[in-house]
Structure 1
Amino acid sequence: MKYPTTAWLAALGASLAATPALAVNGHYVPGIEGLSAAAAPPEGLYYRGYLMHYDIDSFRDASGDAAPGRNTGSVNAWAHRVIWMTGQQFLGADYGVEAIVPMLDTELDLDVAGGRRFEDDGLGDVFVGPVILGWHGEQWDATFAAGHWFDTADFDADNPASVGKGYGTTMLTLGGVWHLDAERRWNISALSRYEVKTEQDETGVTPGDSWLVEWGLGHRLDSGLELGLVGYDAWQLEADAGAPTTAKAERHAIGAEAGYLWPTAGVMLKGAVYHEYDAEAGGLKGLESEGDTFRLQFTKFL
């Protein structure tokens, strides 16, 4: 179904209360983790840095149709994450805590808005996670975590590139890794995030709950290099309360990842690329970006 330009401008008007294009309708960025991400690390203090570059090829409506004209953009993110696995146990699991501080730079060029350019950069909303629980077996690992994204960043309802969301998000995490052989060379992993949002004060809209799954199939070579197939699937489960429409966002992608661990240096480096092959917009955003993601992930055991 094709929409006239006036309908697209109306959709854009709804999207001016949008969040940065990296997320679906919440805070968590799909594709930021990859192979074996559902396994909590051993006791110790860890720094993990994420470099993300997201190229936007087009914007889609609730039916998956592309907005007319050339509508592009990019998001660059550098997120700092600290993980402390305390050495204590709870419910038979290793217990830890974490915090994430993201930095964002967003640029959007939208023909559908009369050739307007939107941009913003700065510190994003901060995440504090007081609960990480990690269970470990001979050929499996499982993780549960809980935390909250706080509404700490600047938000402008008239700027779709705004680095802040204008609302908070409670995020629950559950995932697991199954190692297919005793040597742990082959593995299948899935890491899910469930997000519950608060009301966006400037608009009076409460984004609906969303669920995201990052998955991977990996193989570690004799050299220690790990290669694999990765992807993510994200769904908005509830319509946004107070939004002009009842549409619900979703996004799907597939990609490849490579990673290497230097045990003596306590350093791990991973790189991945994802291609989004389907995206649909929800009520709060009006339009949903579709594009390609490039990620570098650096972990240092402190």
Structure 2
Amino acid sequence: MKKYLIIFVCASALLLLQSKANAQLKGDHILGDLGLQSGSQTPPGFSVFIPVYLYNTNKLKNAHGDVVQRDIHLNMFVTGIGGAWVTNLKILGANYGGSVLIPFASNRLEATSTSKSPFAFSDIYFQPVQLGWHIKQADFVFSYSLYFPSGRYELGGDKNSGLGQLVNEFAAGSTVFFDKKKEWNFSALFSYALNGKKKDTDLRTGNNLSIEGGFGKTWYLKAAKGPIPKIVNFGPVYYMQFKTTEDKIPVGTFILDPKKDHIYAVGAEGSVFLPGIRTQFNLRWLGEAGAVNRFQGNTFFLMMAYNIKSFAKAKQ
């Protein structure tokens, strides 16, 4: 009897392990938070911003890209308050900047599960280094960022507002301008996230490569007062994400399904900068396709950024 009990426990553990392994873990990088001119740094100054992010999904796809679950009706919501700065300090010929976001979230997706969590304080995003270069027909940007496991996290918990992992992320990209007035542009930003172990576990999410950008048209509309014009941007945007290493699960083995998850998305973005109130409004939507081992849905992103202080030097 004891022998059969041991066999039963071992078999149950293996089934549990397999269910965790097939549920690929998610990173902290929020797709769709960047689009048009993703490879550009903003002009020198200090701004506060409020992002509003909504991810809606009702499809779960397997390793073959087949829908295995429908009508999930799961919404992930993230908002918060942040600050961004770009200085006139030069490092390697680039302007130095950075940013921070204090976020709140509900239904943070940890894996391919439909568990829901309440709206609560989430994982802090801090970018201590952002370097921006500007040449005649192109911008370039490089950054290093951290995601801190500051939100509530407990393995298997149903009230998690964070993912419980420290993440180091490196990013580099460019925005290329096709005309002298810089009205037409194409951008791409490559971000690589190195995910640490989850809090109080040996679980480790595989590393993620994300690519985000867009092809945009910019209009510079003369303002009624002042030298700064009203700026309008519009155009198609995209993102894609690929898991480059396998999720690691507690006993030291790797994910049982050899096909790592990935996703593609296309959509549209529109933004306007109103110089009279020194505020930019940005609206972005992307519809996902080609999902493997993950959810497939729609991303909606709205942001309001207010320029508190400009550090731009007056032209001589």
1:249 aligns with 2:255: no
Secondary structure of the structure 1 residue equivalent to 2:187: strand
Distance 1:83 1:107 in 2: 24
SS at match of 2:165: coil
Match of 2:56 in 1: 55
**Quick one: structure 1 residues 63 and 175, their matched pair in 2 at CA, closer, same or farther if it must change by over 3 Å?**
same
Rounded to whole Å, the distance in 1 between the matches of 2:282 and 2:262 is 26
The equivalent position to 1:265 in structure 2, one of 277, 280, 295, is 277
Amino acid corresponding to residue 204 of structure 1 in structure 2 = D
Contact 2:58 2:70 in 1 (8 A): no
The 2-side partners of 1:263 and 1:31 are apart by 25
- CA drift of 1:83 comes to 1.1
Q: Note closer, same or farther for the CA distance 1:51–1:150 as it changes in structure 2 (3 Å cut).
A: same
Corresponding residue for residue 196 of structure 2: 198
221-230 or 183-192, larger mean C-alpha shift: 221-230
Q: Note if contact 2:99-2:128 (Cα within 8 Å) is conserved in structure 1.
A: yes
The number of residues matched between the two structures is 278
Alignment of 1:130-209 (within 5 A): 130-159=128-157, 162-209=160-207
Q: Deviations over 1:225-284 (max 9, x none)?
A: 321000101000111123442441111100011111112321111111110012122xxx
Structure 2 unaligned blocks of 5 or more: 1-14, 222-230, 309-316
TM-score (norm 2): 0.81
Give, as a single letter, the amino acid of the residue that structure 1 aligns with 2:235.
Answer: G
Match of 1:290 among 293, 296, 299: 296
**SS state at 2:129 partner:** strand
Query: Structure 1 vs Structure 2: percent identity of aligned residues?
Result: 23
Equivalent of 1:218 in 209, 216, 219: 216
Counterpart check, 1:30 vs 2:31: yes
CA distance in 1, matches of 2:158, 2:296: 15
Distance (Å, rounded) in 2 between the aligned partners of 1:62 and 1:213: 21
CA distance in 1, matches of 2:291, 2:273: 34
Structure 2 CA distance, aligned partners of 1:158 and 1:67? Answer: 22
In structure 2, C-alpha distance between the alignment counterparts of 1:137 and 1:151, rounded to whole Å: 37
Q: Which residue of 1 aligns with 2:292?
A: 280
Question: What SS is found at the alignment partner of 1:120?
Answer: coil
Give the aligned residue type for 2:306: K
In 2, distance between residues paired with 1:72 and 1:105? 14
Task: Name the CA shift for 1:160/1:207 in 2 (closer, same or farther; >3 Å).
Answer: farther
| Map of 1:73 onto structure 2 | 74
- How far residue 119 of structure 1 moved from its aligned partner, in angstroms, is 2.6
**AA matched with 1:166:** G
SS of residue matched to 1:221: strand
Task: Structure 1: state its 5+ residue gaps.
Answer: 1-8, 20-24, 282-287
Query: What's 1:285 paired with?
Result: none
Letter in 2 for 1:32: D
TM-score norm. by structure 1 comes to 0.84
Which shows bigger deviation, 46-55 or 199-208?
Answer: 199-208
| 1:14 match: secondary structure | helix
Give the SS at the match of 2:141. Answer: strand
Task: Report the alpha carbon displacement of residue 201 of structure 1 after superposing the two structures with TM.
Answer: 3.5
> What corresponds to 1:6 in structure 2?
none
In 1: Cα distance, 2:19 partner to 2:247 partner: 15
Q: Is the 8 A contact 1:17 1:203 kept in 2?
A: no
Deviates more, 1:49-58 or 1:180-189: 49-58
- SS in structure 1 of the partner of residue 20 of structure 2: helix
CA distance in 1, matches of 2:177, 2:23: 43
Contact residue 27 and residue 165 of structure 1 kept, 8 A: yes
Mapped partners of 2:237, 2:38: distance in 1: 11
Residues 16, 157 of structure 1: 8 Å contact kept? no
Distance 1:238 1:160 in 2: 27
Q: What is the RMSD of the two structures over their aligned residues, measured on CA atoms?
A: 2.5
Tell me if structure 1 keeps the 8 A contact 2:22–2:255. no
User: Residues 96 and 225 (structure 1 numbering): CA distance in 2 closer, same or farther, change over 3 Å?
Assistant: closer
Measure how far apart 1:102 and its partner are.
1.6
Change (3 A) 1:85 1:296: same
